[in-house]
């Protein structure tokens, strides 16, 4: 991938952002890739030499790496930090780097550091649950030690004291530990097998020049189209509907002081965060349907 410096950042910053800090080793897939859309992983590998990215977009990843290095200094005698574990499963070598393992009474409490936003902490992040459960599977499969609990240690980069004092459910401090549900070993292994199967099918389609499997709505961060009833001149919606006919029916009952606001659906990741969207036929088809409308 080619890195650009569109905003003219100083050379020292560019050098720091440009130098790789992550390696999955000799694994076919890292845990992060395993969880990712198979289509995005496959297209990224295929077009890596053609892709471009501005170095400024790497800042928060570097910031997160720095936080990890700093927190390593807090290691206690019963801590294992930044351990990369490899395993073979269903013909694939899978690896994952685990931030912190706390050993207590022969069992392991897994923790993962996330440099993230207050919004992410206040809302469900199913990918966090998936990631930590795959880590738990790796640990129990390779180290033969039971995992007792999982947790995210969230470092909230946009934390606000004012919001903490005034908003309900807002994190009370810039660091918050979030417990994560631990699945059964069988559920974890089935999840890993299903993900390997999805990636394998996508890789095979790529090899034979076939159609790649579509990204799911969850992988595209898809928001469905909605219709909101609002008072004319107002800001907040009185009600939000997934069906225009239902919104129209209620609007007629409310009278002329109200209106319907159409809120078109969007695929947030595709439009704003996918580096391979220009190579994706699914996204091109989606744009074509929007142009027709």
pLDDT single digits (tens) 189-225: 999 999 999 999 999 999 999 999 999 999 999 999 9
Q: Which whole number is the average pLDDT over 109-131?
A: 95
C-alpha to C-alpha distance for 140 and 89, rounded to whole angstroms: 14
C-alpha to C-alpha distance for 291 and 289, rounded to whole angstroms: 5
* Cα–Cα nearest to 140, from 154, 150, 125: 150
Q: Quick check: 265 and 224 in contact, CB under 8 A?
A: yes
Q: Per the confidence metrics, is the pTM higher than 0.95? A: no
CA 58, distance to chain mean position in Å, is 15
pLDDT at 21: 67
Q: Which contiguous run of DSSP H or E holds residue 223?
A: strand 222-223
pLDDT class of 293 with cuts at 50, 70, 90:
low
C-alpha to C-alpha distance for 196 and 198, rounded to whole angstroms: 5
- Look at the alpha carbons of 133, 192, 139, 44 in this order and tell me if their dihedral is positive or negative: negative
pLDDT single digits (tens) 238-259: 899 988 999 999 898 888 889 9
């Amino acid at each position: 991938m080619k890195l650009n410096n569109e905003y003219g950042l100083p050379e020292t910053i560019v050098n720091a952002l440009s130098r790789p800090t992550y390696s999955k080793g000799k694994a076919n897939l890292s845990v992060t890739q395993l969880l990712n859309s198979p289509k995005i992983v496959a297209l990224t590998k295929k077009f890596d030499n053609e892709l471009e990215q501005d170095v400024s977009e790497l800042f928060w990843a570097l910031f997160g790496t720095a936080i990890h290095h700093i927190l390593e200094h807090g290691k206690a005698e019963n801590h294992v930090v930044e351990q990369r574990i490899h395993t073979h499963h269903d013909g694939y070598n899978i690896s994952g780097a685990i931030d912190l393992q706390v050993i207590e009474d022969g069992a392991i409490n897994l923790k993962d550091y996330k440099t993230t936003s207050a919004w992410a902490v206040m809302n469900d992040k199913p990918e966090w649950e998936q990631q930590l459960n795959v880590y738990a599977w790796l640990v129990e499969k390779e180290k033969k030690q039971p995992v007792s609990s999982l947790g995210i240690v969230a470092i909230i980069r946009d934390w606000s004291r004012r919001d903490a004092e005034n908003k309900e459910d807002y994190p009370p401090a810039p660091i918050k530990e979030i417990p994560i549900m631990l699945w059964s070993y069988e559920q974890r292994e089935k999840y890993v097998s299903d993900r390997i199967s999805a990636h394998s099918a996508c890789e095979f389609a790529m090899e034979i020049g076939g159609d790649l499997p579509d990204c799911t709505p969850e992988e595209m961060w898809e928001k469905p189209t909605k219709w909101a009833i609002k008072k004319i001149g107002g800001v907040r919606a009185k009600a939000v509907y997934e069906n225009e006919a239902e919104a129209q029916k209620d609007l007629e009952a409310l009278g002329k002081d109200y209106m319907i606001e159409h809120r078109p659906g969007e695929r947030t990741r595709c439009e704003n965060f996918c580096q391979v969207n220009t190579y994706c036929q699914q996204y091109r088809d989606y744009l074509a349907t929007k142009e027709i409308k």
